Amino acid sequence: MEDVLPPTLLTGWGRTMPSRAVVVRPGSVDDVVTTVATAGPRGVLARGAGRSYGDAAQNGGGVVLDLAALSDVEVLDDGDVVAGAGAMLSDIVPLLLERGRFLPVTPGTRFITVGGAIAADVHGKNHHVDGSFGAHVRWVDLVTADGDVRRLAADGPPDDVALLAATIGGMGLTGVLVAARFATIPAPTPWVRVQTRRARDLDALMALMVEGDDDHRYSVAWVDGMARGARLGRGVLTRGDHARPDEAPRRGRAAAPLAAGPPRLDVPPVPVSPLNRLTLAAFNEMWFRKAPRSRDGEITGIAPFFYPLDAVGGWNRLYGRRGFLQYQFAVPDAGADVVRVSLERLAGIGAPSFLSVLKRFGPGRPESQLSFPIAGWTLAIDVPVRTPGLAAALDDLDGHVLAAGGRLYLAKDSRAVPATIAAGYPGLPSFRALRADVDPHGVFVSDLSRRLQL
Ligand SMILES: Cc1cc2nc3c(=O)[nH]c(=O)nc-3n(C[C@H](O)[C@H](O)[C@H](O)COP(=O)(O)OP(=O)(O)OC[C@H]3O[C@@H](n4cnc5c(N)ncnc54)[C@H](O)[C@@H]3O)c2cc1C
């Protein structure tokens, strides 16, 4: 039985751009089919856990499907996972660790759904080794606009393969994912062996990453977004690999901090954001100094390594009522300078940021037209939207990103214009053509797709 809620105000994680939609909670795949078949003029969109930052999981004036009830998970003997699209990665991780396996790709939060992981083709700290989530999908069940439930296998007929490819990264615009099977990777223990390096400036940080990332499965750099001048781009590089049994602490596997459980701290709604230039400069200074200059062989748990932010529930509320955005772009190696330009430009307007993350990407998936990663660099910077001069600074940075052959990440975007996305995603015309074919009446729409004319 499906549940229909009264029109509900929805936002993304950045808490900007709210819009109201009728939220339907289907109890079965049949309910999904019925909702799709009876869609009104404002269409239907699937929503996962609402962890995308902007308006990707909203459909103002239309219907939004919450697939929480489709959350069965099974780990097969070969280690693959078969899951309902509404299953949360936080529920899958403990099941995998018990069997000596781990997610093939995980973003920086485990509170997302399988549907959201595929629709945004999420990447993790191992993109340079394992690619994005979509690379590990064996098949999906997709409810299409005509009410069919299609099993699209990665090794299926060409039409299915093409629709699967477009669905990976397709931001919910090709249909409603209801289930998927994906491969996993070995994790002999629920521990990670970590190497830490502190870098005094951006050149040093990027050089370290280019030299040594390939020696580790995971790599990510926290960049001090408040550092200026000679210290611009200083940061802490953290790299890791799954620990072997002989490296696991003697307390043994049972006592290991599995990636389960609710956040340990919760942020209440705050009327005035405590995050400003002074507090963040102090925080970043402390964060930088707290990191060891160089350390090897530290053994840490899955949760602190992959999901440090998950320990603080509702941390997005720290940015106050007006919310925040994350500016994330990817550029090829030849455009590496855009990383510096971005940090300089945001420093120039005094943008307070405590979360700036730099990663290397391996090759992308051109067959998935809207999938974000391309080989090179990606930088993600959180900024409160109330920052004066932010809109002009980001418009300017868009120009640098595009000139370098780069693009913005749709799952993080809340402010780009159609031309910026069209220029960054050369596969967009082919995505549109495929969508027109499988969904000629435009049943699947979102605030994001309307804003960006996807
Ligand atoms: C703290 C934090 C850290 C993050 N770190 C990373 C990171 O390292 N790498 C990364 O890639 N991303 C990262 N993200 C972004 C996040 O992983 C993606 O936005 C992801 O898509 C969110 O999944 P969700 O289940 O919350 O989906 P939602 O945000 O609810 O939806 C995202 C998109 O998926 C579509 N969708 C959801 N479910 C379905 C379905 N069943 N069928 C069809 N379409 C569907 C929606 O329509 C929407 O377009 C991070 C986000 C946060 C808050």
Would you state the pLDDT for residue 257? Answer: 54
pLDDT over threshold 60, residue 211: yes
Whether the Cβ atoms of residue 224 and residue 288 lie closer than 8 Å to each other: yes
CB of residue 84 inside a 6 A radius of ligand 1: no
> Residue 258: what pLDDT?
56
Distance 373 CA to ligand 1 centre (A): 15
CA distances from 387 to 55, 182, 210 (A): 20, 41, 33
pLDDT at 262: 60
Say yes or no: 306 and 254 in one domain.
yes
pLDDT tops 90 at residue 182: yes
Q: Are residues 161 and 280 in the same domain?
A: no
Q: Is the minimum distance from the CB of 43 to ligand 1 under 6 angstroms?
A: no
Can you count the helices (H) and strands (E) in the chain? Answer: 13, 22
The pLDDT, as a whole number, for residue 337 is 98
Q: Find the angle CA(399)-CA(401)-CA(402) to the nearest 5 degrees.
A: 65
**Cα→Cα distances 223→114, 274, 287, 288, 357, Å:** 29, 21, 10, 9, 6
Cα separation of 451 and 179, whole Å? 28
Contact of 53 with 315, CB cutoff 8 Å: no
Q: 265 and 344 share a domain?
A: yes
Q: Ligand 1: which atom is nearest the Cα of residue 122?
A: 11
Say yes or no: 167 and 302 in one domain.
no
Comparing C-alpha atoms, which of 173, 183, 175, 120 is closest to residue 152?
A: 175
109 lines ligand 1 (CB under 6 A): yes
Pairing of strands 149-153, 73-75: unpaired
107 and 128 belong to one structural domain: yes
Last residue of a domain, one of 137, 154, 187: 187
Q: Total domain count for the chain?
A: 2
Q: Are residues 148 and 273 in the same domain?
A: no
- Which pLDDT belongs to residue 422? 98
Kindly give, in sequence order, each residue whose CB lies less than 8 Å from that of residue 184, ignoring residues fewer than 6 positions away.
Answer: 75, 79, 80, 81, 96, 101, 102, 103, 104, 136
Residue 66 Cα to ligand 1 middle (Å): 13
Phi, psi of 380 (to 5 degrees): -125, 130
Ligand 1 pocket test, candidate residues 10, 29, 51, most atoms within 8 A of CB: 51
* Residue 112, domain extent: 76-187
User: Pick from 46, 48, 60: which is nearest to 10 by CA?
Assistant: 60
| Single residue among 187, 209, 238 that ends a domain in this structure | 187
Q: Is residue 52 part of a domain?
A: no
CATH of the domain at 349: 3.40.462
Please, what is the average pLDDT of the chain? Answer: 93
Residues 209, 294, single domain; the answer is yes
pLDDT of residue 263: 65
Characterise 197 by phi-psi region: left (phi > 0), alpha (psi -120 to 50), beta (else): beta
Q: Is the CB of 123 under 6 A from ligand 1?
A: yes
Of residues 317 and 127, more confidence is placed in: 127
- 252 alpha carbon – ligand 1 mean position (Å): 33
The verdict on the CB of residue 144 being under 6 Å from ligand 1 is no
- The verdict on the CB of residue 411 being under 6 Å from ligand 1 is yes
Local structure of 28: helix, strand or coil:
coil
- Per the CB < 8 A criterion, the answer to whether 453 and 431 are in contact is no
Share of residues in the chain with pLDDT > 90 (%)? 81
Residue-wise pLDDT tens digits, 284-341: 888 888 889 999 999 999 999 999 888 877 778 777 778 889 999 999 999 999 999 9
Q: How far apart are the C-alpha atoms of 451 and 431, rounded to whole Å? A: 16
The residue-averaged pLDDT of 425-452 equals 98
Classify residue 64: in a domain, yes or no. Answer: no
Query: What does the DSSP 8-state code read for residue 216?
Result: S
- Cα–Cα distance measured from residue 326 to residue 372, given in angstroms and rounded to the nearest whole number: 15
Based on the fold, state whether residues 221 and 343 are members of the same structural domain: yes
Strand 63-66 vs strand 19-25: parallel, antiparallel, or unpaired? parallel
pTM of the model: 0.96
Query: Residue with the nearest Cα to atom 23 of ligand 1?
Result: 116
Which residue, by CA, sits nearest to atom 43 of ligand 1? 172
Q: Which atom of ligand 1 is nearest to the CA of 315?
A: 1
Residues 164 and 223 in one domain: no
Q: Does any ligand 1 atom lie closer than 6 A to the CB of residue 87?
A: no
Compute, in angstroms, the gap from residue 411 CA to the centroid of ligand 1: 6
Band (pLDDT 50/70/90 cuts) for residue 55 is very high
Listed in sequence order, the residues at least 6 apart from 98 whose beta carbon sits closer than 8 Å to its beta carbon are: none
pLDDT at 175 over 70: yes
CA distance 191 to 247: 9
Q: Is residue 40 part of a domain?
A: no
Distance in angstroms (rounded) separating the CA atoms of residues 306 and 314: 17
pLDDT band for position 261 (50/70/90)? low
Q: Flag whether 372 is in a domain.
A: yes
Single out the residue in 157, 187, 217 at which a domain terminates.
Answer: 187
Residue 127 Cβ contacting ligand 1 at under 6 Å: no
Which of 24, 29, 53, 122 maximizes ligand 1 atoms within 8 Å of its Cβ, making it the mutation to test the pocket?
Answer: 122
Q: Token pair for residue 120?
A: 């945004």
pLDDT of residue 352: 82
Task: Determine the Cα–Cα distance for residues 59 and 18; give it in Å rounded to an integer.
Answer: 10
Instruction: List, as one string, the DSSP characters of 38-98.
Output: T--TT-EEEE-SS-SSSSTT--TTSEEEE-TT---EEE-TTS-EEEETT-BHHHHHHHHHH
Residues listed for the chain: 454
**pLDDT score at 259:** 46
pLDDT value at residue 281: 79
Whole-angstrom distance, CA of residue 215 vs CA of residue 238: 12
Ranges assigned E (strand) in 67-175? 73-75, 81-84, 101-102, 137-143, 149-153
* Same domain (yes/no): 331, 357: yes
pLDDT tens readout for residues 393-423:
999 999 999 999 999 999 999 999 999 999 9
φ, ψ of residue 444 in degrees (nearest 5): -95, 115
38 found inside a domain: no
Rounded to whole angstroms, the Cα distance separating 233 from 220 reads 14
Query: Model confidence at 275, in pLDDT bands (50, 70, 90)?
Result: confident
**Based on the domain organization, do 149 and 167 belong to the same domain?**
yes
Nearest residue (CA) to ligand 1, atom 1: 109
> Are 384 and 281 within one domain?
yes
Q: Is residue 358 a part of any domain in this protein?
A: yes
Q: Are 169 and 371 in contact (CB under 8 A)?
A: yes
pLDDT of residue 97: 96
- Assess whether the C-beta atom of 163 lies below 6 angstroms from ligand 1: no
Cα(159) to centroid(ligand 1), Å: 26
Helix (H) or strand (E) run with residue 284 in it:
helix 277-290
| Any ligand 1 atom below 6 A from CB of 172 | yes
Is residue 271 over pLDDT 70? Answer: no
Q: What is the CATH number of the domain that holds 133?
A: 3.30.465.10
The verdict on residue 162 lying in a domain is yes
For residue 276, tell me if it sits in a domain.
Answer: yes
Choose the residue to mutate in 19, 45, 47, 114 for probing ligand 1, maximizing ligand atoms within 8 Å of C-beta: 47
Provide the CB-side half-sphere exposure for 226 (13 A, CA): 18
pLDDT reading at 437 higher than 90: yes
